[in-house]
């Protein structure tokens, strides 16, 4: 944008106007040739001063506002972007308690509960919180039978899934109770189990994960899982 600054002449009251634009800086007199502070200033002797347009605009900072689900996240809270990432995170968690938090940006209950979940994550640094955006990963959520929000699943080492439930601010005691019950130290009985076999098969059948993770099911059992497991027409309830 162009701008100009008028500097008064202390001797005769006449003025000098300084004009500028993003690309150059130029001096111009308000009259053809006048004295400024006792000296004659001729604008023709001054060459334009080039400015870097990028630097000229760098002083204007427009910060991107964080979405509510991006605020107050702790180091042990990880955003999941694919079914494969979820499977790998559960299998690599060892004996840690893992809480999978299913949420949606438009879910009022999820938004209201988010600050408390972040506080609980801070108070339980040894627990891993995996956040799943329902809107971005609908196919995966259908396969995992998640049809109500906010929704949580707890996994622990070789036990695999230990509990799952929907929770709101009004029923936060349920969440705290599960953290206390399944978050205590215990001896590992084997490698982390992660998702159930039926869930692995369901995710593989829709191309969400690698097929080498699929357990060996016979044909009848496989068809039963595929028919009853997930359909995109299933409705989701939002608390």
Closest to 86 (Cα-Cα) out of 42, 148, 136: 136
Closest to 28 (Cα-Cα) out of 41, 13, 43: 43
Tokens linked to 227: 């028919």
Token pair 């599960």 is found at: 178
Is 107 assigned a catalytic role? Answer: yes
Alpha helix stretches (DSSP H) within 124-233: 138-143, 172-182, 197-205, 219-229
Catalytic residue chosen out of the listed positions 19, 61, 107, 163 = 107
Cα dihedral 220, 223, 225, 228, rounded to 10, equals -120
Catalytic residue chosen out of the listed positions 19, 61, 110, 163 = 110
Q: What is the rounded CA–CA span in Å between residue 51 and residue 1?
A: 13
Is 19 assigned a catalytic role? Answer: no
Q: What are the residue numbers of the active site?
A: 107, 110
């Amino acid at each position: 944008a162009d701008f100009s600054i008028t500097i008064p002449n202390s001797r005769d009251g006449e003025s000098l106007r300084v004009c500028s634009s993003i690309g150059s800086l130029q001096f111009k007199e308000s009259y053809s040739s006048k004295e400024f502070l006792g000296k004659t200033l001729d604008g023709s002797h001054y060459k334009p001063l080039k400015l870097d347009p990028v630097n000229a605009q760098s002083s204007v900072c427009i910060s991107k506002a964080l979405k509510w689900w991006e605020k107050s996240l702790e180091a042990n809270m990880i955003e999941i972007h694919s079914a494969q990432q979820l499977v790998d995170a559960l299998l690599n968690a060892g004996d840690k308690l893992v809480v999978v938090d299913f949420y949606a940006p438009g879910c009022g209950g999820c938004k209201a509960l988010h600050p408390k979940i972040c506080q609980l994550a801070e108070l339980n640094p040894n627990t891993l919180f995996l956040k799943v955006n329902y809107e971005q990963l609908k196919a995966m959520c259908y396969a995992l039978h998640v049809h109500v929000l906010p929704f949580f699943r707890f996994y622990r080492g070789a036990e695999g899934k230990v509990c799952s439930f929907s929770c709101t601010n009004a029923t936060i005691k349920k969440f705290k109770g599960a953290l206390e019950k399944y978050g205590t130290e215990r001896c590992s009985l084997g490698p982390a189990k992660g998702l159930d076999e039926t869930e692995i098969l369901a995710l593989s059948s829709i191309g969400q994960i690698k097929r080498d993770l699929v357990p060996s099911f016979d044909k009848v059992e496989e068809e039963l899982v595929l028919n009853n497991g997930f359909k995109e027409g299933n409705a989701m309830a939002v608390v």
